[in-house]
């Protein structure tokens, strides 16, 4: 009896036949994950684009796995024929984050790489893109990394304007300024 | 005689554009030789803030990604979370989500009418459409409590059911707006000024559209039929009868024709959703929202906004907070590198006209 495969299983088989060391996983309907070493990523993307019809890049994302000392780059590509999302995932060293430049495969990767370089500190050798994207004159650690504490940065960098301190009772301040008396039923909401 | 080159810093305000971004232009006469985009005026680190909040608290931030169309980020995030968790949405919840998404598209189309016509000097259309848009915002206020930000679409369904008499109000509002659109069209599409300004301007070829990852009306204006609602139907879209607007040319005119066609499709879909609204639950309730954990995994949720595909890559490490939630709005593609490419060779006066046509939304680029 002939076995019938789903479109997701066929894609996983095609990728595994073409690439060594590639681990594929059919996660759910319309979604296939492919875990690859970073050296293979551009070949997989090109193969998927040219041979398998995955012509559209939906997303390029970066996830910080602080605990294991790795950054994960996720390329999400899509085929108008199979309508399947293929996630090509690779992990790179967090201390020395270097990834191959892939903006010649899809021009829009340029913008994603600019953001990932700025927000996660990943270098893409050979990549020509304006250095600054969202941040200006930034000298601190890449801010989207998990060990960058936004609250601490804000407390160290900015100061409260006088009269705008946190946790003050706005109702009471307004009442004091205007001479208005706070009725009893409203006093229970006071922070005191 | 050699023409002198001039550098002009245009922006950060542009007519018809919601949000701020600057475009550095190299000009020869009034022709653009080089364009460089500069964002950074609106970065609020929403994605970082989401990582510090639990899953339910995150839903209050999502709508702020894009002011003119706040519902697609909510829906894309909810779809991704549901994929990871395997949570089903009740049929009524699916219909109500599609209803809200289409109402959001409708009001966003009306803002586009204002921006696109206003940047061509036809101010009357904008005053009409922004005025009439308030009737849609009234519906949102009644349904969700908010006119602009709704926080209505939750993983598992929607936040609340529709109030009494709401269906009738929606249908009456649609009847009114449908008539008004004919007036906008006569004023805008029949105008020689608009036709002359729009035809042959801001051209994107089919090849370039595929290479740059163009989506939404700009892609369908190149003659390529791709719409997330058709290709990967979500919520109630597989039960609706609608067509994509596909036009050839790839210029501002073609993109305007796509939107002119699709606003009527949206009105038709809203009527279908109201007429076929099923009974039953509207939300597949999650456990205690403050202790709600999502199994480890990742997913990409995507929906079709007025400007194109809006996607969310959501990663969970099994805890009560998202590990990563990374948005990809259409403006991320259209508003940076593509815009820099399209502007070359165009006239200085057409910059905001082209930006409106591509659906550039700076708050969505830098989030």
| Nearest chain B CA: its distance from A81 CA (Å) | 9
Whether residues B309 and A132 touch (CB distance < 8 A) is answered with: no
Closest by Cβ to B313, choosing from A28, A59, A83: A59
Contacts of A49 in chain B (CB under 8 A): none
Q: Is B47 on the interface with A (CB under 8 A)?
A: yes
One digit per residue, pLDDT tens: chain B, 367 residues? Answer: 566 788 989 878 877 777 888 899 999 888 999 998 888 888 888 999 999 888 988 888 988 888 888 899 999 999 999 999 888 899 999 999 999 999 999 999 999 999 999 888 888 998 999 999 999 999 999 999 888 899 999 998 999 999 998 999 999 999 999 999 999 999 899 999 899 999 989 899 988 888 888 888 999 998 888 899 988 899 889 999 999 889 988 899 999 999 999 999 999 999 999 999 999 898 888 888 888 889 999 999 999 998 889 999 999 999 989 999 999 988 888 888 889 889 999 999 899 899 999 988 888 888 8
Contacts of B309 in chain A (CB under 8 A): 58
pLDDT higher at A188 or A29 = A29
Smallest CA-to-CA distance from A34 within A50, A16, A18 is with A16
Q: Is B261 on the interface with A (CB under 8 A)?
A: no
pLDDT of residue A1: 58
Q: Is B326 on the interface with A (CB under 8 A)?
A: yes
Whether residues B40 and A61 touch (CB distance < 8 A) is answered with: no
pLDDT of residue B367: 82
What 3 state SS string does chain B have? CCCCEEEEEECCCCCCCCCCCEEEEEEECCEEEEEEEECCCCCCCHHHHHHCCCHHHHHHHHHHHCCCCCHHHHHHHHHHHHHHHCCCCCHHHHHHHHHHHHHHHHHHHHHHHHHHHHCCCCHHHHHHHHHHHHHHHHHHHHHHCCCCCCCCEECCEECCCCCCCHHHHHHHHHHHHHHHHHHHHHHHCCCHHHHHHHCCCCCCCHHHHHHHCCCHHHHHCCCCCCCHHHHCCCCCHHHCCCCCCCCCCCCHHHHHHHHHHHHHHHHHHHHHHHHCCCCCCCECCCCCHHHCCCCCEEEEEEEEECCEEEEEEEEECCCCCEEEEEEECHHHHHHHHHHHHHHCCCEHHHHHHHHHHHCCCHHHHHC
d(CA A60, CA B70): 22
Q: Is B268 on the interface with A (CB under 8 A)?
A: no
Closest by Cβ to A63, choosing from B43, B213, B315: B315
pLDDT of residue A16: 84
Q: Are strands A31-35 and A85-93 parallel, antiparallel or unpaired?
A: parallel
d(CA B330, CA B304): 9
For A106-129, b/e burial (b = at least 16 CB within 10 A) is bbbbbbbbbbbbbbbbbebeebeb
| Nearest chain A CA: its distance from B196 CA (Å) | 30
| Nearest chain A CA: its distance from B362 CA (Å) | 11
* Cα torsion B134, B138, B143, B149: sign: positive
pLDDT of residue B106: 94
Predicted ipTM? 0.90
Contacts of B323 in chain A (CB under 8 A): 63
pLDDT of residue A192: 46
Query: Which residues of chain A have a Cβ shorter than 8 Å from any chain B Cβ?
Result: 27-28, 30-31, 55-59, 61-64, 74, 76, 80, 83, 85, 87, 106-108, 110-111, 130, 132-136, 143-144, 146, 150-151
């Amino acid at each position: 009896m002939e076995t019938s495969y789903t479109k997701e299983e066929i894609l996983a088989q095609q990728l595994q036949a073409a690439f060594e060391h590639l681990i594929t996983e059919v996660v759910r309907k319309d979604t296939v994950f492919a875990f690859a070493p970073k050296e293979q990523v551009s070949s997989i993307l090109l193969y998927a684009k040219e041979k398998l019809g995955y012509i559209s890049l939906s997303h390029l994302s970066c996830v910080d796995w602080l605990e294991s000392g790795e950054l994960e780059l996720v390329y999400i590509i899509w085929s108008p024929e199979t309508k399947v999302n293929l996630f090509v995932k690779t992990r790179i060293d967090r201390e020395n984050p270097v990834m191959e430049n892939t903006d010649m495969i899809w021009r829009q990767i340029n913008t994603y790489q600019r953001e990932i370089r700025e927000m996660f500190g990943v270098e893409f050798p050979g990549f020509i893109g304006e250095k600054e994207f969202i941040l200006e004159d930034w000298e601190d650690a890449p801010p989207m990394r998990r060990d960058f504490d936004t609250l601490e940065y804000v407390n160290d960098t900015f100061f409260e304007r006088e009269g705008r301190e946190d946790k003050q009772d706005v109702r009471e301040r307004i009442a004091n300024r205007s001479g208005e008396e706070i009725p009893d039923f409203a006093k229970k909401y006071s922070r005191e | 005689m050699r023409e002198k080159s001039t550098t002009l810093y245009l922006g950060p305000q542009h007519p018809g554009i919601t949000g701020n971004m600057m475009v550095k232009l190299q000009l020869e006469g009034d022709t653009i030789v080089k364009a460089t985009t500069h964002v950074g005026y609106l970065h609020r680190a929403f994605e970082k803030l989401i990582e510090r909040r639990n899953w339910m608290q995150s839903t209050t931030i999502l709508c702020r990604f894009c002011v003119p169309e706040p519902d697609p980020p909510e829906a894309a995030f909810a779809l991704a979370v549901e994929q990871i968790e395997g949570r089903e949405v009740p049929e009524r919840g699916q219909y109500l989500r599609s209803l809200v998404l289409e109402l959001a598209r409708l009001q966003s189309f009306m803002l586009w009418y204002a921006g696109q016509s206003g940047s061509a000097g036809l101010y009357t259309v904008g005053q009409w459409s922004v005025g009439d848009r308030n009737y849609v915002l009234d519906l949102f206020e009644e349904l969700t409590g908010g006119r602009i930000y709704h926080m209505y679409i939750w993983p598992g369904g929607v936040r609340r059911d529709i109030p009494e008499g709401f269906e009738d109000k929606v249908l009456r509002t649609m009847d009114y707006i449908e008539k008004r659109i004919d007036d906008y069209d006569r004023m805008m599409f029949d105008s020689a000024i608009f036709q002359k300004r729009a035809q042959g301007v801001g051209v994107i070829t089919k090849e370039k559209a595929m290479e740059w990852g163009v989506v939404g009306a700009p892609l369908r204006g190149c003659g390529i039929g791709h719409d997330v609602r058709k290709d990967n139907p979500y919520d109630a879209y597989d039960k609706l009868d609608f067509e994509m607007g596909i036009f050839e040319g790839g210029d501002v005119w073609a993109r305007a024709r796509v939107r002119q066609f699709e606003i009527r499709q949206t009105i038709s879909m809203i009527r279908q959703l109201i007429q076929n609204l099923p009974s039953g639950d509207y939300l597949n309730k999650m456990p205690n929202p403050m202790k709600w954990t999502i199994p480890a995994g990742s997913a990409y949720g995507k929906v079709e906004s007025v400007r194109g595909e809006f996607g969310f890559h959501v990663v969970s490490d099994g805890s009560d907070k998202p590990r990563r939630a990374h948005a990809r709005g259409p403006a991320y593609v259209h508003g940076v590198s593509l815009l820099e490419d399209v502007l070359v060779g165009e006239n200085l006066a057409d910059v905001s006209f082209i930006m409106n046509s591509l659906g550039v939304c700076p708050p969505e680029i830098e989030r």
